[in-house]
Amino acid sequence: MNISSVFQNNEKWIAEKLAGDEDYFTKLSQGQQPEFLYIGCSDSRVTAEDLMGVKPGEVFVHRNIANLVNNVDLNVMSVLNYAVRHLKVNHVVVCGHYNCGGVKAAMEPVDLGILNPWLRNIRDVYRYHKDELNAIEDVKARYDRLVELNVEEQCVNLIKTAAIQEAFRERGVRVHGWVFDVRTGKLIDLKINFEEKMRSIMEIYNLYEPVSMVK
């Protein structure tokens, strides 16, 4: 792959789309109404559109190292607020993946310079669940489990936000946790209980009255 081939591929893609629908780009330019916000990893092997089988305009995408939802990251918070409050998505997905380099780096006692503050979020996930993780003797299985737990914790981070709580109250928005298995191509639903997770944190993180928003 080189720069010239990228533009050649673009021309082929345009021709294919127009062959199927001569008004394809006219329709595409009229706006977007995605059903999903997808928060995934920046890993080049894990592209939201491909693994979900969706077309342009159907999913709003944010990607960063290890699919984190960090409340002091203005990038992910801006994407979340725009998607939920303006585009009115009904489903917010955090999608991790096995063989994640960010998660693996967080498991190793190594100084990674500028990455340290970012990876500390994953190391904190390990700290929250260290008893479960340390009980897993197989390193690969422990690695996979940390990937899953990281997704779960990022879903909880979403539930802590005003945007999600407001959208849940007003139209029943849902948060989902998925993992993509790069070894098989399968997309795995972790079946995170959204309402249960919300109930478990509302005493502290509820941003709306009454406290019993989720009974």
Active site residues: 41, 43, 45, 97, 100
Q: What one-character-per-residue DSSP string does 139-201 give?
A: HHHHHHHHHHHHHHHHHHHHHTSHHHHHHHHHH--EEEEEEE-TTT--EEE----HHHHHHHH
Backbone φ, ψ for residue 78 (5° rounding): -70, -45
Question: Is the peptide bond between 109 and the residue preceding it cis, with omega within 30 degrees of 0?
Answer: no
Sheet holding 91-97, edge to edge: 59-64, 36-41, 91-97, 174-180, 187-189
Residue tagged 């009974």 (tokens) = 215
Query: Is residue 98 left, alpha or beta, with left meaning phi > 0 and alpha meaning psi from -120 to 50?
Result: beta
Q: Which residues contact 3 (CB under 8 A, 6 or more apart)?
A: none
First and final C-alpha spacing in the chain: 54
Do β-strands 36-41 and 59-64 pair in parallel, antiparallel, or remain unpaired?
Answer: parallel
A 10 A CB-CB count for 73 gives 16
